[in-house]
Amino acid sequence: MAFRREKYVPRGGPSGGDGGDGGSVYLVGHTNKNTLYHLRFASIYAADRGRHGEGSNMKGRSGEDLEIAVPLGTVVYDAETDELLGEVLADGERLRVADGGRGGRGNARFATPTNQAPRRADPGTEGDDRHLRLELKLLADVGVIGLPNAGKSTLISVVSAARPKIADYPFTTLVPQLGVVAEGPLSESFVIADLPGLIAGAAQGAGLGIQFLRHVERCRVLLHLVDLAHFEGSAAADLAVVEHELGAFNPELMTRPRLIVGSKLDSALPERREELKQAAAERGLPYLEISAATHEGISPLVAEMARRLRQPVVPAAPASGAP
């Protein structure tokens, strides 16, 4: 609230300017960010405050917006209400997660012919104060799924330049690995994800559980890898375990285009090959066999993945043989 006081200017009138608006907080997609790890070391992110209005009808400067870089595929929730606020999917995409406050109004705004010297100024409004929960769901065209030690990491190391950890014990892959696969004379490319192995109860958090399953939701095509050389149990049962966890986590995943692929063909057991082939036929899904060690069947598999990705997305009904 201010009044103009100047020599030789009688009855100068009100001259209080408005306050500036506060800055807002935005999440901005960046292709050079791969994880949310850089956000773990600060608990409060605040945009710039607006400046006060001044005399001579001078409006206060608005606060600067705060932009926080996040990887593509980041999903944002209100931590207190679980409300989905949005997701960041493209490079440079901005998602506003907290609005800045509105600046106050100076007394110059309230001058009227009957009230030429108003002694009133309205305060501004507070900006949003939110607790957020961020989740990262990787953006990949093809997701490789299966039980631990099915050969997922070996496959992705063969078809792309990715170099995931490979060992002869379960859960060698602790975080998803991405690789770029080039296919055909025109070098058409797509992104393939080596996703951590599933076990029974993953939908309820067993093993890597939800950490793995939420990444599957982004994949357009699922490549279901089953070990043909494993001497315990049946190949059909191994297939059913992973299918059950997918359906329990999100039934829509069972409608995605899927390929059933038998791995380790160079040391495959005949009975497991027959079981898996029969299980794929019952579900009406394409069946292929590969050996990442000898590269047998790799080229047809890459061609089939590329062909599936070129097809329009038309969700299919869950197969009758699937759980």
Domains of the chain: 1-136 (2.70.210.12), 142-310 (3.40.50.300)
DSSP state of 33: -
Q: Pick from 92, 90, 74, 176: which is nearest to 133 by CA?
A: 74
Supply the pLDDT for residue 163: 62
Distance CA 153, CA 196 (A): 9
Task: Give Dmax (Cα) for the chain.
Answer: 106
Supply the pLDDT for residue 138: 67
* 10-residue averages of pLDDT along the chain (323 residues): 78 84 93 77 88 85 91 88 90 92 88 84 89 81 84 83 52 59 64 69 46 72 90 88 84 88 91 93 93 90 87 51 44
Distance CA 169, CA 166 (A): 9
Distance CA 287, CA 226 (A): 11
pTM: 0.58
Structure tokens at 117: 């010297």
Strand-pairing partners, residue 323, are none
CA distances 33 to 92, 100, 218, Å, are: 12, 26, 17
Q: Environment class of residue 89 by beta-carbon count within 10 Å: exposed (0-12), middle (13-18) or buried (19+)?
A: middle
Supply the pLDDT for residue 183: 65
Neighbours of 289 (CB within 10 A): 20
- Could you tell me the strand order of the sheet in which 258-263 lies? 177-183, 188-194, 142-145, 221-227, 258-263, 287-289
| Secondary structure (3-state) at 314 | coil
Distance CA 139, CA 73 (A): 6
